């Protein structure tokens, strides 16, 4: 088609059409040439847009996103070259999360990366067509995201951040080594992923004499008050992988240090930040695995429904020596036989 356009323009100039009309037609034909040329160039290096929806900013979720981008880059999807990330943070607000997802659908993004349970739920509420790849989701089935790990939804799959042994390993460590009478837990009762974890803790403790003391919150502004409410009521505190609480973790650490209440966490970034110990894995590795799933979908090799949901395979108990000392807990060197000591970076 482009080769015939110059001939057409030459023939037009030889007609008796009015000069103004000839000029308009020539401009239209020239535009066709440009459009064809542009489309021809894009076909060899098609650009994609990925909508990134994340419920809040905190180290674990941020690390997952970094791993996601790294995997895609290694599979040929390089930010600034052939992929654009539209990153939106919901600031812990479900209404914001839903608006973000709806906007992505309106913008017709090529894929949605949903980082955390509320973000994934909002994305699935917004579309049954655009591929959704999630991570940092505790219970994908309980959150009604997928029917099963092996057979996820038509347009959704991803990775769970819950290893079946993670919570039992940490809670059993607290029970066996600290001999507490009561363990406090702070969580957002509105986060489905958090209520599931609290149920797991209850199940672990049911055959012990240890009582679970719950302090529920709805916003990050309430976290410090919840931590203070556990003073005198709990011998140790456990923080699950709760997005709202972890985003305000520093306030819990402050209370734990002032009152000498050892605080434990459900993921390793919180251990590095100041929790005494926790069982976990690398969220960056989890995000990387999620990115590899996204690459298969973008390549057209697989649909989300073809990719089973997975969870982290590597699990380790890590103890922060400095945090333990700051929270009045004496370290036993024999703990090193079953755990890894963290002594700062």
Residue 343 — very low, low, confident or very high, per pLDDT cuts 50/70/90?
A: confident
Section 149-156 average pLDDT? 94
CATH class of 48-161+282-306: alpha beta
Query: What average pLDDT does the chain have?
Result: 89
Asked if 48-161+282-306 and 165-280+315-342 have one fold, the answer is: yes
pLDDT at 332 over 70: yes
Q: How far is it, in rounded angstroms, from Cα 192 to Cα 213?
A: 19
- Give me the pLDDT at residue 344, please: 76
From 11-15, 97-101, 142-146, 289-293, the region with the lowest mean pLDDT:
11-15
Residue spans per domain, the chain: 48-161+282-306, 165-280+315-342
- Read off the pLDDT of residues 166-210 as tens digits, 9 standing for 90 and up: 999 999 999 999 999 999 999 999 999 999 999 999 999 999 999
Q: Say if residue 80 is exposed, middle or buried (CB neighbours under 10 Å; 0-12, 13-18, 19+).
A: exposed
- Give me the pLDDT at residue 45, please: 59
Residue 69 CA, chain-centre distance (Å), reads 12
- Read off the pLDDT of residues 64-117 as tens digits, 9 standing for 90 and up: 999 999 999 999 999 999 999 999 999 999 999 999 999 999 999 999 999 999
- Read off the pLDDT of residues 21-59 as tens digits, 9 standing for 90 and up: 445 444 444 444 344 333 333 334 579 999 999 999 999
CA dist 282 → 15, 132, 256, 288, 333 (Å)? 72, 22, 25, 10, 24
pLDDT at 12 over 80: no
Closest by CA to 21, choosing from 13, 30, 32, is 13
> Which of residues 11 and 110 earns the better pLDDT score?
110
Section 310-317 average pLDDT? 89
Cβ contact 115:135 at 8 Å = yes
Percent of the chain topping pLDDT 70:
87
Q: How far is it, in rounded angstroms, from Cα 250 to Cα 245?
A: 9
Residue 11 — very low, low, confident or very high, per pLDDT cuts 50/70/90?
A: very low
- Give me the pLDDT at residue 128, please: 97
Give bridge partners of residue 184 from the DSSP assignment. Answer: 213, 237
User: What CATH number was assigned to the domain covering residues 165-280+315-342?
Assistant: 3.40.50.2300
């Amino acid at each position: 088609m482009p080769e015939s356009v110059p001939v057409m323009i030459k023939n037009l100039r030889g007609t008796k059409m009015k000069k103004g009309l000839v000029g308009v037609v020539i401009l239209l034909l020239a535009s066709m040439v440009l459009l064809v040329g542009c489309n021809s160039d894009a076909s060899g290096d098609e650009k994609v847009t990925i909508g990134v929806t994340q419920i809040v900013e905190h180290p674990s979720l941020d690390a997952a996103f970094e791993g996601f981008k790294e995997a895609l880059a290694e599979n040929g999807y390089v930010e600034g070259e052939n992929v654009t990330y539209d990153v939106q943070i919901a600031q812990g607000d479900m209404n914001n999360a839903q608006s973000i997802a709806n906007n992505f659908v309106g913008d017709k993004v090529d894929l949605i990366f949903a980082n955390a349970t509320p973000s994934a739920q909002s994305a699935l509420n917004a579309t049954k067509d655009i591929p959704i790849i999630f991570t940092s989701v505790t219970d994908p089935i309980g959150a009604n995201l997928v029917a099963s790990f092996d057979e996820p939804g038509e347009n959704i799959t991803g990775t769970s951040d819950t290893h079946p042994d993670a919570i039992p390993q940490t809670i059993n460590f607290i029970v066996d080594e600290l001999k507490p009478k009561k363990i406090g837990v702070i969580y957002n009762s509105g986060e489905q992923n958090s209520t599931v974890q609290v149920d797991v803790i209850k199940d672990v403790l049911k055959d012990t004499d240890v009582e679970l003391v719950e302090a529920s919150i709805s916003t990050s502004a309430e976290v410090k008050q919840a931590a203070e409410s556990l003073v005198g009521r709990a011998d140790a505190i456990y923080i699950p992988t709760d997005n709202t609480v972890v985003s305000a973790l520093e306030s819990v650490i402050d209370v734990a240090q002032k009152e000498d209440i050892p605080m434990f966490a459900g993921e390793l970034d919180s251990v590095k930040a100041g929790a005494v110990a926790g069982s976990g894995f690398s969220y960056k590795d989890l995000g990387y695995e999620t990115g590899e799933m996204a690459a298969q979908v973008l390549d057209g090799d697989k649909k989300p429904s073809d990719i089973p949901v997975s969870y982290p395979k590597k699990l380790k108990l890590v103890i922060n020596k400095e945090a333990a000392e700051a929270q009045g807990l004496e370290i036993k060197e024999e703990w090193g036989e079953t755990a890894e000591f963290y002594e700062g970076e």
